[in-house]
Every structure is written in structure tokens, then in C-alpha cells.
Amino acid sequence: MKIVVVVPAYNERENVGPLIEALEGQFASMPHEMHVLVVDDNSPDGTGDVVRGAAQRWPNVHLLSGEKRGLGVAYVRGIRYALDQLGADAVVQMDADFSHDPADVPRLVAALDAGADFVIGSRYVRGGKAPPDWGLARRAISLMANLGARLIAGLYRVRDCTNGFRAIRGSVLGTVEVERAPRGYVILMYLIYQALSNGARVVEVPVVFSNRTAGESKLRAGDAIEFFINAWWIRYDRRETFYRLASGGLSSVLANLGALYVLHELAGVPAAAASALALEIGVVYSIVWRQAWSVAARRPAQSEPLARLLWFHAISAPSFLLTFGSFVILTGVWDVHFLAAQALGILPALVWNYFLGERLFERLWTRLLPASAGELERAP
């Protein structure tokens, strides 16, 4: 198997030479054709010159230079070059600063040999470790970023979504739309999401993460913010889909609360009955919203409108009961204002829909009513 280790580098002159030498030492005992591809973003410190010198010593060392446009773009360039120009059967991703131990490369590749499609060097499985000298803030950022990736993007089974130490089969990367990958650190989460969505077998191998000993860290606070924002767009595949769901959900809540106000405050309908009717109006509004968006997107008309209406009501039943039950308790026990009670009651329903209801709806709808499946979004 031909394996290319892709190493993005920017101003890593002090690290890249020793890293290549350490990798070559590991390659000597590995039963594969191993290569190193350094993706240098025109580093002003002469990183590229160091790689050129190493390539004269080791013919399996390659340099790919280009403009500095972020980690995501560097990885896309490197992956594409490794697959298309070097003919890689698999790609190993790792950092240039020795935070990823070259001695762990054979262990990641061994997991590929054992049948895995996508191997993650994980700090957060048994045997893995983050640096003990990480400050509280750095440790919290890492844990929160991983928790966000798992909950927001739906990568529940993956413990370490943010470590860039991976080994990935070329056949898996061939199914990933790498050109659409985000530019920043979020590409690490994007590749996992795409691989899982395409049925890849993802395995985590414990590794010990180390702090760099030379040079300066590239991670900034803005990268963490970008990571969380992009997690939503990755979960729903496209920004368009995220905007549709967000705007549809918000306007459905407003329709619900508006109907409740009219029914109870203006028409004098008893609070509990008004709450139930407003919830029904919200459900119908959601159906109309989805249909209107489908028409705007020029998607085919739904072939089973009555079945769709009944099925959507069936799937919405748990959300309805959660919201209505909360409303009755909040207004009857604690005398909460009826609008506030309805709004608060919507929160547990949102949690249900996000973590379970959405997946249940998608899987059952696709299975039972395949003519409508084109409207649904993929979930991992």
C-alpha cells in the first residue's frame, strides 16, 4: 500500500527537518511504500528550503507550495495532490510541530491494515492523553470543542473530533467532497462527518499529544468560534439547509405564540385549549413551510400529501405532549404567564427533536414514504 503523510506547515523551519528525519526512521520498519508531502504556505522563514534539502536526501519527500489560505485549504491541496499526483492508497494527516509523535504513525497504519477506513489518533480514549501542562483554559477549549462537535454535528460516537492526527483510506477520501471543506480547523470535523455519512468504519487509537517545543502555536480564539459556527452547517450539509431549518423553526415558534395570544387573550379560549390549538397551528405551519421551501427550491411535489400530513402529526406527537405538559404544569402549578409557559414548554420539545425526533422522522419517512425522501437531510 502506498501511504502519503501529509504535513501542513507554515513557519516550521525549526521542526520540519527533524520531523522528516524521525518519520524516515519509522518508515524503515513499515511494510508499505511511505512518502512525506509537506504542504508549505510559502513560509517566509525558509520552511520550503529545508524540505527541498530533505528531498535531496530522501526521494520519497515531496514539497507542495502555495499561498497561505488556511489549514483547510492546505489539507485539501495536500490530499488532492497525494491522491491524484502521487497515487496514494491512504493518507496520514499530522502536524509539523511534533505535537503528534512520529512513532505513532505505524500504529495508525496498523489499524488501517486491520480493516479500519478512518483512524483517529485520539487523546480522549483509554490510553490517550492531552499534555499535563495544558492550562485550564486550553483544556476547557479542547473539551468544549469536542463536546460541541459531538452534540452539534452529531458525531456522538467519536471521542476526539479535533485532533489532526489521522490515517484515512484513499477510497474514503474519494467519496468526500474535499473541495467544499471549510478553510479552518473545522475541516477536521468535516472529514469525520463525511466519512461516517458515507459508511466508513472509524476507529480511534490512543495517542499522547505533546506541546510544541519550537515555534509558535497557530491556534487562535477565533478558530474555536469558527469551529462552533461551522459545526451547525456541517450537521445540515449546506448553509442553505441550516438557514431553512433555523428560519423555519423560528417562524414556527412565532406562529405558535401568536396563535396562542389571539386565541386566549383576544378570543377568550381557555388557556389549556388555546395552547393545544396553537401547537396544532404550529405543526401545520411547519408542514406548509417545508412545502413552500421545496417549491422555491424547485423540488418535486410530494406525491402523498394526506399521508405526509398524518405522518408528520404522528412524529410531532412527543413534541406536542412535552410542550403541552410543560404548559399545564407551569401555568397550573407556578402560575407562569401563558406566553412564557408556552415558550418554555417548547424548549424540551426542541431537545427531543434535535437529539432523537429528527433522526426518527428521517429514517422512518425515508423507509415508508421514499417518494418524499429527497426533502430530508442526511444524518450520521
pLDDT of 152-175, one tens digit each?
777 878 999 989 999 999 999 998
Residues 181-191: what's their mean pLDDT? 80
Residue 2 has pLDDT above 60, yes or no: yes
pLDDT computed for residue 123 by the predictor: 93
> Greatest CA span in the chain, whole angstroms?
86
pLDDT computed for residue 176 by the predictor: 85
Structural domains of the chain sorted by starting position, each given as residue range(s) with its CATH number in brackets:
2-235 (3.90.550.10), 239-375 (no CATH)
DSSP-derived secondary structure for 306-357: HHHHHHHHHHHHHHHHHHHHHHHHHHHTS---HHHHHHHHHHHHHHHIIIII
CB 123 within 8 A of CB 146: no
Can you tell me the distance from the alpha carbon of 296 to that of 264, in angstroms, rounded to the nearest whole number? 34
Residue 379 has pLDDT above 50, yes or no: no
Can you tell me the distance from the alpha carbon of 119 to that of 142, in angstroms, rounded to the nearest whole number? 19
Residue with cell 495544558: 134
Q: Beta-strand (E) ranges in the chain?
A: 2-9, 33-40, 61-65, 90-93, 118-122, 166-169, 202-206
Q: Strand order in 33-40's β-sheet?
A: 61-65, 33-40, 2-9, 90-93, 166-169, 118-122, 202-206
pTM exceeds 0.85, yes or no: no
Least confident among 103-107, 211-215, 258-262, 335-339: 211-215
Name every residue whose Cβ is closer than 8 Å to that of residue 366 and which is 6 or more positions away in sequence: 373, 376
Least confident among 189-193, 221-225, 284-288: 221-225
Q: For the chain, what percent of residues have pLDDT higher than 90? A: 52
CB 285 within 8 A of CB 299: no
